């Protein structure tokens, strides 16, 4: 299911269609038995809808934006603990693989057992509890509200100010992270990066080759920042839950996390400098030119 605008579609119609498509996709996964996959996929679809709404936010009628985002946040909150429980074992395995050859065999066996047990517990709680039903109910409510989405502008006017603001926020977050590369600053920056990444995907058809490359860079940047955040979550968990039984393992793991975070943060800041090198007005002006040429062109035969 493609996540992008159509050439002859109005902003209002696009916002309604894309919101319903992504919400419908998320609801489909909630109905499946594989709850682990559902947790990952539904969160991803929620982020896409959020990025779409951010793009047209300044041109939306009434308080629909606020109500929709409130529902999205409430739904996403239910996935936080089971998502973290799923990610922590994978984060540890990636970390061990990164330092392959530098660690003794069967490193972190005690921590691994605790992480796996926690993953089973959180997944079981999500499946047996009411979270899945609550999230489904919230998403169905949002699906109904999608019919009320109305963008009070046409063409680029509906998108330009939102895109420029998204780019500007990311640029400011990068500047803050450069001054202090704290976990909190990097995590806030990542949210801006993810929004812009999804927004570039939405605009992909207006200049496929250029925007595909830009979106790929933003995705890579998001991955660096996401890996860093996952390491933060892993470190917090093992310090809190594993220190008594696995003190030696925790000490070594903290050292490796520190080393890997230095690598990831250095790479993220360097890549971010490239991704946010333009002035916001120039960045948006360039995409506006792409948009106008695209909209003025003939309909594709495909």
CA distance readout (Å), 62 to 15, 105, 129, 173, 283: 15, 60, 35, 29, 29
Q: How many residues comprise the chain?
A: 302
Domains and CATH numbers, the chain: 11-294 (1.40.20.10)
Question: Per-10-residue mean pLDDT for the chain, 302 residues long?
Answer: 90 96 92 73 94 94 86 91 94 96 89 96 81 89 90 96 97 98 97 98 96 97 98 97 95 97 98 98 97 79 38
Question: How many other C-beta atoms lie within 10 A of the C-beta of residue 209?
Answer: 8
What local confidence, expressed as pLDDT, does residue 34 receive?
Answer: 62
What local confidence, expressed as pLDDT, does residue 299 receive?
Answer: 46
Report CA Rg, the chain.
21
Taking every pair of Cα atoms in the chain, the longest distance, rounded to a whole number of angstroms, is: 67
Give the global pTM. Answer: 0.93
């Amino acid at each position: 299911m493609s996540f992008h605008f159509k050439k002859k579609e109005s902003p209002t119609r696009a916002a309604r269609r894309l919101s319903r498509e992504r919400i419908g996709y998320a609801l489909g996964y909630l109905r499946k038995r594989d709850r682990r996959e559902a947790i990952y996929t539904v969160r991803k679809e929620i982020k896409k809808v959020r990025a779409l709404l951010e793009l047209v936010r300044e041109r939306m009628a009434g308080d629909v934006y606020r109500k929709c985002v409130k529902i999205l946040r409430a739904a996403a909150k239910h996935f936080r603990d089971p998502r973290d429980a799923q990610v922590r074992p994978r984060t540890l395995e990636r970390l061990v693989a990164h330092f392959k050859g530098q660690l003794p065999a069967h490193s972190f066996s005690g921590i691994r057992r605790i992480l796996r047990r926690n993953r089973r517990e959180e997944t079981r709680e999500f499946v047996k509890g009411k979270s899945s039903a609550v999230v489904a109910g919230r998403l169905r409510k949002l699906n109904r509200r999608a019919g009320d989405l109305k963008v009070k502008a046409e063409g680029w006017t509906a998108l330009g100010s939102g895109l420029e603001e998204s780019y500007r926020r990311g640029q400011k977050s990068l500047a803050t992270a450069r001054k202090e590369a704290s976990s909190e600053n990097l995590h806030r920056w990542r949210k801006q990066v993810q929004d812009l990444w999804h927004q570039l995907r939405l605009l992909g058809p207006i200049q496929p080759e250029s925007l595909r490359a830009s979106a790929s860079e933003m995705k890579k940047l998001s991955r660096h920042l996401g890996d860093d955040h996952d390491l933060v979550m892993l470190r917090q968990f093992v310090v809190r839950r594993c220190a008594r039984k696995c003190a030696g393992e925790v000490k070594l793991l903290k050292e490796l996390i520190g080393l890997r975070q230095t690598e990831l943060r250095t790479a993220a800041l360097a890549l971010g400098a490239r991704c946010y090198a333009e002035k916001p007005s120039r960045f948006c002006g360039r995409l506006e030119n792409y948009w106008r040429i695209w909209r003025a062109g003939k309909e594709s035969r495909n």
